[in-house]
Amino acid sequence: MSDHAARPGPATVLLTQDGRITGWSEGAARLFGHDAGTAVGAALPALLGRPGASEPLAAALKTAASGRSWAGVLPLAGAGVSVACDPIACEDGATAVALTVSPPWAGGLELLNEAGRRIGSTLDLHRTAREIVAVTVPRFADAGAIYVLERLLADDDQPAAEADGSAVVRRLAVAFAEDDPREWSREFPVNEVIVYPPSTPYARCLTTGEMTEFGGDTARETRARQTGRVLDGLLDHVSLLAVPLWARGRALGFAVFSRKRGRLPF
């Protein structure tokens, strides 16, 4: 198993020169929250509810349609996303444009890869976990936590998951958004030992070694199982990402991050 977190595919949108969508990748559906059936045929700014993006998008498409690639930031979500617009020659002689969105997790995953290496080599796991969430929140996410396998703390070389696929982990550090209720620290205490069933995204990311993005009903059910109830304001964190932490071919635990409404989802 690689020590690096697996990366989801790119978000790619095929557009006509006037901004109509003709192709919509799975990455685009995940990133922007619309399936291909809804997206194809629509104007991209209208689909995303971003009328202010029409003019800068048109300028980018015009450059690409002339045969020259364009790269920059467009106001398609949040404070803007980094995109590349590349010309594509069509069979009828026209030029279409492939718009590729730089993943919003770019850079963040490098932090997490480093996190796995540091946790795998440190003697002070709690301090290292605190340092990791300090540099990832709010730079990479609005909230985050580091969970380490309880067996790792016991210096046990057993597999990452229990026989039934569940994960027994200890929360070593947690950080919340500045505007989150302070009492949440009581609901998610440091050093709490938690058993996540195999059906949860957290256990799955450990067994597969791949990042797991989730939201909606899955996020609500996972949080309700953990706290026994849905906390006020917690549903504002609509996009979650579970990232396995590996070092030297060994599963160490996972990091969990969330982003609130108004910020580009994972």
User: Which CATH topology does 105-259 take?
Assistant: Beta-Lactamase (3.30.450)
In this chain, the answer to whether the domains covering 11-101 and 105-259 adopt an identical fold is: yes
pLDDT digits over 46-69, tens only? 998 888 889 999 999 999 989 899
> What integer is the mean pLDDT of 116-127?
69
More confident residue, 29 or 70: 70
- In percent, the amount of the chain with pLDDT more than 70 equals 76
Q: Where are the domains of the chain?
A: 11-101, 105-259
Strand duo 212-215 + 81-89: pairing:
unpaired
Question: What's the CA gap between 237 and 261, in Å, rounded?
Answer: 6
Radius of gyration of the chain (CA): 21
Mean pLDDT confidence for 169-196: 88
pLDDT digits (tens, 9 = 90+) for 215-228: 766 666 665 555 55
Pick the CATH number of 11-101 from 1.10.1740.10, 3.40.50.150, 3.40.50.720, 3.30.450.20: 3.30.450.20
Tens digits of per-residue pLDDT, 200-257?
A: 999 998 888 888 888 766 666 665 555 555 566 677 778 899 988 887 777 889 999 9
